[in-house]
Amino acid sequence: MQAPGNHQLTLEEKLIWWGLVYTYPIYFIGGLYISGSAIGWLILGLAMLRWFVDGKPEHNAAIPAIIWLWLVAMGVMLVALLIAHSNWSLGMAKTIKSSVGWAKGWALLAIFPLIGSIVNVRPEMLIRGICVVAKHTCIFSLVTFICYLVHIPGLLFISPLQIVGGPGENFFMVSLYGLNPETGAGRWQFFAPWAPAAGFLSCIFLVFCLQEKDKVWRNWGIAGCFLMVLLSQSRAGLGIFVMLFPLTLFSDKFKEPWFLFTLGVVVPVILVLGEPVYNHVMDTYQQIKEARPGSTRVRTALANIAMQRWAAEAPVWGHGVVESGPKLVEHMPIGSHHSWYGLLFVKGMVGLLALAIPMGVTIMALIVGAQDSKQAQTALCLMAVFVCYSFFENLEILSYLYWPALLWIGMALNPKKQRGSNA
């Protein structure tokens, strides 16, 4: 399958294109966890080598101050890891293993934006690549739904690539579909390690697919994203999915007088009607939680355990490693299902600030940039998804899947590329 346009792809662009369009083939050998992180480090190495050989950076390449902030912040994550391991005497073997995990997780949150800022990647190629994945998702959904109806077993195998190490066997599991443990009905995780993560990816992909100019590919993309969020049965995913449509329409309107006037009218009205609106929202939220009471109970217990142990045992640098919880939470990792609780438990207040500060600064910069740059508008929508999902997932553990979004954010933060994308 060819990338859009007649532009000759560089080696870095080919790696990005192949990494996207071969998502499902790589998944069927259980290799996505390896390929996702390897692509980032490999492209960075190639870019640095090209820079060294040519003696100059690529055209429009620049490393903005915010990218430096991300690099420093993710470096702080590694420092917090090392200090916590030392404080808790976890040993050299665990320290090395956790450092490798950092390189395949937190480090990617800085590596891919860096690549986006210094490597010339065509936005339309990235968008089309996501649409190809979405089209494959449509085909995968149809085939696997038939398999589910005729009771073909969902789990195929655990990839032997698990030997390279990772957060768990879910990341190397190849399956057609899964089962909801509470209802026994089918629940699809697609190429993600679990179903709610597929809901997360559907929202990320939707932001890209809405930018596709070719109507046929855009329809494929939106259809694939919708099937992904629908079959994953992700409550958070469905809510954020719906929110993205108006967000993509109004992300560039903050400087418009009519938009500011509308906010000036709507905000006071909301304040006046705040109590009934609040009560309605909370009632709706409670109904959503009661749709899957077991999941809600476990999430709440995990959060409480993480907060109690963080405050009592390791408030500054954290515990250094993830620990399994008690039977009350089905032995799930403490701090999982929530980036901020997970950070407090594993890396303490230092780790939480190392994520919160660059995220906050990036959002403010993109709000300003979104008024004149289409790339920044898209990046702002992606950051909105990250912020929302940080309360439902551990962001770092899924970075090997949503790396195209990180790449795009790096492109949008480069002022030279923003000027080239104004429309």
Strands 178-179 and 186-187 turn out to be antiparallel
For residue 99, report the phi and psi dihedrals to the nearest 5 degrees.
-65, -40
Given a contact cutoff of 8 angstroms between Cβ atoms, the answer to whether 88 and 78 are in contact is no
CA distance 11 to 316: 43
pLDDT at 300: 77
CA distance 419 to 122: 14
Give 161 or 275, the one with higher predicted confidence: 161
Q: Which amino acid, residue 280?
A: H
If one counts every other C-beta atom within 10 angstroms of the C-beta of residue 368, the result is 13
Residue ranges of the alpha helices (H) in 170-234?
A: 195-209, 215-232
Tell me the helices (H) and strands (E) count for the chain, helix number first.
Answer: 17, 4
Given a contact cutoff of 8 angstroms between Cβ atoms, the answer to whether 199 and 236 are in contact is yes
pLDDT at 107: 96
Residues 6 or more apart whose CB falls under 8 angstroms from that of 217 comprise 128, 131, 135
Q: Please state the separation of Cα 71 from the chain's center in Å.
A: 18
CA distance 294 to 52: 55
pLDDT, tens digit, for every residue of 257-308?
555 455 455 545 544 454 454 455 445 545 544 545 456 667 777 778 888 8
pLDDT, tens digit, for every residue of 319-348?
888 877 777 666 777 767 678 888 988 999
338: nearest Cα among 170, 207, 196: 196
Mean pLDDT across 188-208 = 94
CA distance 400 to 108: 8
Q: Which two tokens stand for residue 139?
A: 């085909």
> DSSP state, 192?
S
Per mean pLDDT, which range of 64-73, 238-247, 380-389 is the poorest?
A: 238-247
Per-residue pLDDT band for 251 (boundaries 50, 70, 90) equals low
pLDDT at 262: 57
CA distance 115 to 44: 6
Per-residue pLDDT band for 79 (boundaries 50, 70, 90) equals very high
Catalogue the long-range contacts made by 159-162 (C-beta closer than 8 Å, 24 or more residues apart). Answer: 159/29, 159/30, 159/31, 160/30, 161/29, 161/30, 161/31, 161/33, 161/34, 162/30
Beta partners for 174? 157
For residue 11, report the phi and psi dihedrals to the nearest 5 degrees.
-60, -40
Q: Which string of DSSP letters, residue by residue, matches 402-417?
A: SHHHHHHHHHHH-HHH
Residue 419: burial class (beta carbons within 10 Å; 0-12, 13-18, 19+) = exposed
Mean pLDDT across 162-179 = 89
Given a contact cutoff of 8 angstroms between Cβ atoms, the answer to whether 165 and 97 are in contact is yes
* Rg of the chain in Å (alpha carbons): 22
Per-residue pLDDT band for 420 (boundaries 50, 70, 90) equals very low
- What angle, 0 to 180 degrees and rounded to 10, lies between the N-to-C axes of helices 403-413 and 11-21? 140
Mean pLDDT across 107-135 = 94
